[in-house]
Structure 1
């Protein structure tokens, strides 16, 4: 059904033009009727003809899109109305994390009608610049793409802007890791330069934590009596704001056993931090972070990167990414004879296959050593 009315217009000779409003269905998200309005017709007859033509097009399947809904409004509703009913609980949590911590902080303010290929390409370029793995970027693309395809089904957009976006092809990365001697040299320089950052680097190297896991640690996560460290949150920094949310996967929430040297390093670090609390008084942050600035506030990722590269340069060791400390930890564990299953659990990988794929170069050496040891045993005293 169409509604017609006169609209005052200074440009028209008659002093007015005609417009019509026509119903185009029901919004699947709100349950409210959707309408579209067309203006600028010289006569009522022209408006009636245009309304009739549009009605025919609608009957033939034409989508009329005039939606000012933002991604902040749409994506949570998509999660609740569609995704939640189609995927497992663990997968749904992953969907939530990707949307809440990756997509919405950057694109949440954008309306569906303004979301275009250019904006989406800039978003994925940002993810690449943040050095996220190709596999994780592919996961973000997959979830975002599914949500936008459903927006088409719900007549909220006419086409999916992600179809014109290029993302990096998933490929196996060649990891650069440090040898044991290089690690020890780096830690010694870090200890001489800055004791607080020394503690951070030491715990990272001795646990293999991801950066977000490391910076999200709080003192209640450490059990000095049992020698355990509970990894249960992830710190992210986007658009000037620090947030603490869920970990990358369900298996990332884990309990790590700490050696005596790591526990002692944390105790000494806590003692220095207690002295800073007294110095700053009520100005000291109540976040209770293990690794923080002198006033207890979160460490900016850029500050961490600059400090890491500065100490790395002074240590005269091969240049690596901060994340490669994690790979160094895992590689040395395997070389020390720790089983692949134990390394998987320590790193928080979702499957042992993932661990094996990443560290295939090390496991091949382990297989060769095992074969050699077995042969030597069989030939012993023969």
Structure 2
């Protein structure tokens, strides 16, 4: 039981009337001392328990870091829209920057990621009766959102693949050009995922880097776990890579470390770090004299090429393992024959 003291009976009656009115309207919140930091810890833990991937959890934590730095000790119930505006302004003028050139503003995309994540966290506070309203929802997004990712033309994609054909990991680059995510390519294993006789590859594991540590887990979305057909060129490239790895294993002897059977390994069987794979992608792009786009934009390229070829939208989405919510709103069942057709059209036109 809590008690509250007032100077006069009139003050007490006024408080009681106001409180009863708030209760009747459903917007009464019992006073609390929880800080912004404490609530964000609670929200992050609820996301972890809900099964969010380590990479997603890291994104949440990074997005909220400016909020914690500037507002972490502030009582949650005292948080105002003006406070969130202060964080937004500090990010845009560079005073909230943790790394890089001091005073250089953070991008609108980074600011909006902070706002979106904070809104999610404060939505939970509203639902749990900690605060009356979500003050982050009262703050406008930063203008100047980053432009969508770039994409190669079919000719540029073909030029990249021509140069990549001379690389030891030619098969891996073909997977990248066909729209597999970086983590999906690096997570592939010969015995578990690759069926050369059946000409299919199954995406079951994603290998990513989170905070400098290598993490293996399920694909990014439920739709990310998928089986894709392989065209003849991809099967041939995979057979060459497996033969080469067998020769490297014999040459290295006891020094060979490839016990996991990963498809993408170095000459002594060690899986590369994801960052190295991205660096090699950029190196081959420069050698091919094509624009050095982000590795993830190779995925955007394959989507663009497939759509330009008239391949059905639901096939393109299923091929790339798009988010299940998008699939449910837009697409229907995809048949393996349609996927094989998509694979061949993509191979013939890039």
TM category, shorter = 0.5 to 0.7
Distance 1:124 1:231 in 2: 36
2:246 is the alignment partner of 1:289: no
Q: What secondary structure, in the 3-state scheme, does the structure 2 residue paired with 1:237 have?
A: strand
Q: Where do 1:8-157 residues align within 5 Å?
A: 52=5, 63-66=31-34, 69=38, 74-77=43-46, 99-100=56-57, 102-104=59-61, 113-114=72-73, 118=87, 142=116, 145-151=119-125, 154=128
Structure label with greater radius of gyration: 1
Query: For each residue in 1:25-53, what CA deviation from the matched residue of structure 2 results, as whole angstroms up to 9, or x when unmatched?
Result: xxxxxxxxxxxxxxxxxxxxxxxxxx857
CA distance in 1, matches of 2:39, 2:130: 11
Structure 2 CA distance for aligned equivalents of residues 144 and 292 of structure 1: 39
Equivalent position SS for 2:319: helix
- RMSD between aligned alpha carbons? 4.8
**What displacement does 1:287 show?**
4.0
Aligned counterparts of 1:335 and 1:346: Cα–Cα separation in 2: 15
- Corresponding residue pairs, total: 284
TM-score by length of 2: 0.61
Gaps of 5+ in 1: 2-22, 25-50, 81-91, 127-133, 356-382
What displacement does 1:185 show? 2.8
Instruction: Please tell me whether residue 304 in structure 1 is matched to residue 277 in structure 2.
Output: yes
2:154 is aligned with 1:179:
yes
User: Which structure has more strand as a fraction of its residues?
Assistant: 1
Once the two structures are superposed, what CA deviation does each residue of 1:57-92 show, in whole Å capped at 9, x if it has no partner?
Answer: x98656332567485654333676xxxxxxxxxxx7
Q: Give the 3 Å change call, closer, same or farther, for CA 335–277 of structure 1 in structure 2.
A: same
Tell me how far apart the structure 2 counterparts of residues 273 and 123 of structure 1 sit (CA, whole Å). Answer: 45
CA–CA distance in structure 2, aligned partners of residues 218 and 159 of structure 1: 49
Whether the 8 Å contact between 2:153 and 2:301 is mirrored in structure 1 is yes
* Paired position in structure 1 for 2:245: 273
The 3 A distance-change label for structure 1 pair 293 and 168 is: farther
Distance 2:99 2:126 in 1: 24
Distance 1:319 1:123 in 2: 27
TM-score normalised by structure 1 residue count:
0.57
| Deviation for aligned residue 1:222 | 0.9
**Unaligned regions of 5+ residues in structure 2, if any?**
7-11, 20-28, 75-82, 101-108, 332-350
- Asked if the contact 1:63–1:158 (Cα under 8 Å) also holds between the matched residues in 2, the reply is no
Higher relative contact order (CA 8 A, sep 6+): 2
